[in-house]
Amino acid sequence: MYLPRFKGPIEGWTVNYTHSQFWRVESMMEWADVMQEAYIVFMRVSAKYPTTDTPQHFMALYKRAWANHITDLSNEATQLRRLVSSSHADDDDVRGLPEPIGEIDNDGLLGRKLAQAPEEVRKVLTLMLTAPQEILDVLLADWRGQDARRRDGGGAKINAALGLPKGTDVYKVVHDYLCR
């Protein structure tokens, strides 16, 4: 009978696999939280299958359970991004938003500002919040670094994707709105 231990090869595999998948959940969780989730999945698999015969058998069960859990977390992160963007994308009327309670310097002010944002700003922010990472990598490839944003065509791909007029400096539009 095999008694699994998280420290050692299982933890090593978990770190490597999680590192390759972290982009899927980083908008919702920090690294330490994801690793804590991995340990919880390990404990759950250990409790559910206490009589595995070999380390390979246990590892196969754990790998599948952790991969499934990462997918579940990723789906949850996607739902959260959709929820956040849909609550502001279609609605110019801010009366439907909950009023901040307690502190006045909190996300309630940001919510109001986003709800009142011009269409271009909302489009860019919605794209950033809802697009899959692969699409964002392509769109932002010419937009990395301070000098690249200022070069001609730095926002051309974003303009084309959002149907904005050619030559629109989306970086400046969003920056000017949010920082005024």
Residue 96 falls within a domain, yes or no? no
C-beta of residue 1 within 8 angstroms of C-beta of residue 29: no
pLDDT of residue 86: 66
pLDDT of residue 129: 79
C-beta of residue 94 within 8 angstroms of C-beta of residue 115: yes
Name the average pLDDT for the chain.
Answer: 81
Same domain, 77 and 28: yes
pTM of the model: 0.49
Structure tokens given for 162: 């959002």
DSSP 8-state secondary structure symbol assigned to residue 93: -
Residue 36 falls within a domain, yes or no? yes
pLDDT under 70: residue ranges of the chain: 85-109, 142-154
Angle between helices 55-89 and 31-48 (to 10 degrees): 130
Residue 49 falls within a domain, yes or no? yes
| Domain housing 28 | 9-86
pLDDT of residue 67: 96
Angle between helices 9-21 and 55-89 (to 10 degrees): 30
Same domain, 80 and 112: no
Q: Which of 171, 146, 148 is nearest to 158 (CA)?
A: 171
Which segments of the chain does DSSP mark as H helices, in order? 9-21, 31-48, 55-89, 107-115, 119-130, 133-140, 146-150, 156-162, 170-179
Residue 136 falls within a domain, yes or no? yes
Question: Within a 10 A sphere around the Cβ of 114, how many other Cβ atoms?
Answer: 22
pLDDT of residue 101: 54
Same domain, 13 and 55: yes
The predicted-structure confidence for 41-55, as pLDDT tens digits, reads as follows 999 999 999 888 899
Residue 152 falls within a domain, yes or no? yes
Residue 91 falls within a domain, yes or no? no
Residue 93 falls within a domain, yes or no? no
